[in-house]
Structure 1
Amino acid sequence: MRCVGTVVRGIRTPIIKENDDLATIVVDSLMAAKESEGFEFRDKDIVAITEAVVGISEGNYVTVDDVAEDLEMKFPSKNIGVVNPILSRNRFSIILKGIARAMDKITLLTSFPSDEVGNGILDEDILEESEYHLGSTITEDQYKETFGSWIHPFTGINMIDFYRELIEDEDCEVEFVFSNDIKTILDYNTDVLTCDIHTREKSTKLLKDEGAHVYGLHEILTEPIGDSGFNPEYGLLGSNKATEEKLKLFPRTGDALVIEVQNRLIELTGKQIEVMVYGDGAFKDPVGKIWELADPVVSPAHTSGLIGYPNEIKLKYVSDNKFADLKGEELKEAIKDEIKQKDDNLTGQMITEGTTPRVLTDLIGSLCDLTSGSGDKGTPVIFIQGYFDNLSHD
């Protein structure tokens, strides 16, 4: 009897740079890990590659000047409203620098008490005691008078002060407005750049329906500026700061990469191994209240065997109800038979209550992100075995 279910390994690789043959690096690193750790490949194993090294290897970078040039073409007025950017030095500050370099004035509207992914912007206890509520519109002067220069406990900075200095350093004027209704921006400007991630389509449509001239971040750098990088589907969404003048974009060649890696592994191992590219995990920090998913999707590319949802029964429910009178080995064998006989689609059945009805790549990508981390682990490839196993698999 097998005593271990799912096993997750972080795979160390060489430091990956632009123009590296990433497929070869991934496959060679996996084969080296196999020899070092003594594991064997099996059907339905999963290889996951972090989007960061995919974007790096394909050289998918843009400069602040590239961002500015694209925005100048789309907003010739040089005076725009910027709606709901996330409050992140890594994710948005270099984009904002490009916006400011292109414009003469920005009216920056941000939601409160936090941005889309949970980064706080003010003291919520003070908000509850103030005259303002979630439906209010708060000016910058009112914000400063009521909340002061609020310091985020994690970053140690006030993002409004940080963004103001960044914009003004580019000789651009800025006015901040705090509102949870994006249509508030139309009181200030009808040229609008929407910066929300997961509600981007809804936001751009809503403002366009009001007659505004609107682009979303997902529509900026969808084509190259000169020889710059680009992303035809997500634009600047999913980008990260590379230097003070450069952004690494979300990868665009992932579909070809996962197929190439899969084919090479099938040839080397004889096993049907699934491959995916993953970015941020789809989970929320219960302490900091940060929703990790600042990328537009968890997995921008994956092989076909990773499409779908889990189809699991809840062992506790079956044990406490259908087999309440059984114990020990008899109970285990009864549950194994129940699993073997389960329907191919258990949606809506009580026997699934308490399981996780989420997209497989969101679940697996979250597992990978937690394993690789965002620091110095040096494991941009994750190898998972037994993810699709259940108790009936011996």
Structure 2
Amino acid sequence: MNREVMYEKGINPYVDTLEEKDYRSIKGLSLRHPFTNVDYVDLYKSVAPEGKMHIYFSNDPKIALKYAKEILVANIHERDWTKKIAKQAGASVVLGLDDLLTEPVNGSGYNSEYGLLGSNTASEDRLKLFPRNSQEICEKIQSLIKDTCQVEVEVMVYGDGAFKDPKTGIWEFADPVVSPGFTKGLIGTPREIKLKYVVDKELEAQEGSIDEVIKDRILKKKASNLDATETLGTTPRMYTNLIGSLCDLVSGSGDKGTPIVHVQGYFDDYTSEW
């Protein structure tokens, strides 16, 4: 919900609960997704028999217990927190999407770690689940390429990239993790200096060639601890999230048909020779 509209209408997102009729009566509120033009409240209600689904809007998970004691938690990245709140508030049963289809049902597919999280609709009566055995697959691909081409590559299975659209505020990240499987070279976060900071500092000092100074600082970085001021502005993110987001943007989720993205030179830096 647009926060400017909420503020203008005096709605407090921390304590207020709205019924659907209240939500639809708010003047100036767009009820459709800014990109897909879908009314998702109508879409969600369409999956249930007429009159069997009631929707309430609240940011307080405990509000759900006013209407039911058996709770299905469907949010993704804060699911453990939401489950904890519901249990402490007195819910008789609390399940998440990650608790459903963790093993085969009548010969169905399953995902023992994530259940229904990260699944997509494949047809009217079938779901495509989040990948499993990804770690095994990545290590096998890495081994095959090394044996065949004598080249060491890192391999990852990726889904949604971890980024938020700056215009609409919509999170792209609907999967439980960016990468459910990856080779060991992708563990960790970048250890970088902020080039702009180093350049500005050395320009003030006016000592030596900027090009050589930068290369010297990068080489020293590799051999010692970084000066904390020289890392300011370099957001610490895991390699898998960074590279997975890059691949997701390149491959797209529509009709591009890009099954594999080859990223070359990602771990190079300003000192690398070509």
- TM-score under structure 2 length normalisation: 0.92
Query: Alignment partner for residue 246 of structure 1, among 123, 126, 133?
Result: 126
Q: Is the 8 A contact 1:220 1:235 kept in 2?
A: yes
Deviation at 1:124, TM superposition (A): 4.4
1:285 paired with 2:188, answer no
- For 1:178, the equivalent position in structure 2 comes to 57
User: Given that residues 72 and 95 in structure 2 are in contact (C-alpha distance below 8 angstroms), is that contact kept between their aligned partners in structure 1?
Assistant: yes
> Contact 2:114/2:130 (CA < 8 Å) preserved in 1?
yes
Residue 230 of structure 2 aligns to a residue whose secondary structure is helix
User: Cα distance, 1:163 vs. partner?
Assistant: 1.7
- How far is the alpha carbon of 1:291 from its aligned partner? 1.1
Which residue does 2:185 correspond to in 1? 305
Displacement, 1:331? 1.5
Moved over 3 A (4+): 123-126, 322-327, 343-348
Contact 2:100/2:116, CA 8 A, preserved across alignment: yes
1:156 is displaced (CA, Å) by 2.1
Query: In the alignment, which of 90, 107, 116 is matched to residue 211 of structure 1?
Result: 90
Distance in structure 2 (CA, Å) of the matches to 1:211 and 1:347: 49
Match status 1:318 vs 2:194: no
Does structure 2 retain, via aligned residues, the 8 Å contact 1:313–1:351?
yes
Give 1:1-394 correspondences, 5 Å limit: 113=1, 124-134=3-13, 135-146=15-26, 150-168=31-49, 173-212=52-91, 213-322=93-202, 324-326=204-206, 330-343=209-222, 349-394=228-273
User: How far did residue 288 of structure 1 move?
Assistant: 2.3
- Distance in 2, matches of 1:233 and 1:344, equals 39
CA contact (8 A) 1:314 1:351 kept: yes
Give per-residue Cα distances to partners, 1:194-230, cap 9 Å, x unaligned: 0010001111122112231100011110011011011
Q: Distance in 1 between matches of 2:204 and 2:30?
A: 59
Counterpart CA distance in 1 for 2:39 and 2:235 is 37
- Answer with 159-168 or 190-199: which moved more: 159-168
State the AA in 2 paired with 1:163: Y
Quote the offset at 1:326 in angstroms.
4.4
Q: Is the 8 A contact 1:275 1:302 kept in 2?
A: yes
Q: Which secondary structure does the structure 1 equivalent of 2:262 belong to?
A: strand
CA distance in 2, matches of 1:152, 1:387: 35
Deviation at residue 330 of structure 1 after TM alignment: 2.0
Gaps in structure 2 of 5+ consecutive residues: none
Distance (Å, rounded) in 2 between the aligned partners of 1:321 and 1:359 = 28
Q: What whole-Å deviation, never above 9, does each CA across 1:215-267 have from its counterpart, x for those lacking one? A: 00111100110110111111000001111111100011111110110001111
Contact 2:193 2:226 in 1 (8 A): no
Partner Cα separation in structure 1 for residue 63 and residue 107 of structure 2: 37
Report % sequence identity. Answer: 46
CA positional deviation for 1:125 = 4.3
CA distance in 1, matches of 2:16, 2:116: 30
Between Structure 1 and Structure 2, which shows a larger proportion of strand residues?
Answer: 1
Letter in 1 for 2:125: E
1:300-322 per-residue CA deviation (whole Å, 9 max, x = no partner) reads 00000000000001111111114
- SS at 2:204 equivalent: coil
Q: 1: CA distance between counterparts of 2:102 and 2:225?
A: 40
Q: Tell me, what secondary structure is at the counterpart of 2:268?
A: coil
> Could you tell me how far apart the structure 1 residues matched to 2:232 and 2:83 are?
37
Conservation of the 8 A alpha-carbon contact between 2:202 and 2:210: no
CA-to-aligned-CA distance 1:335-385 (integer Å, 9 cap, x gap): 111111115675771111111210110000000001111122221201111
Higher RCO (CA < 8 A, seq sep 6+): 1
Following the alignment from structure 1 to structure 2, what is the Cα–Cα distance between the partners of residues 315 and 377?
35
CA displacement at 1:159 relative to structure 2: 1.4
Give the aligned residue type for 1:273: V
Please state whether the residue corresponding to 1:205 is helix, strand or coil.
Answer: helix
Aligned AA (2:36): T
Q: TM-score, normalised by structure 1?
A: 0.65
Q: Which amino acid aligns with 1:302?
A: F
CA distance in 2, matches of 1:345, 1:221: 48
- SS at 2:256 equivalent: coil
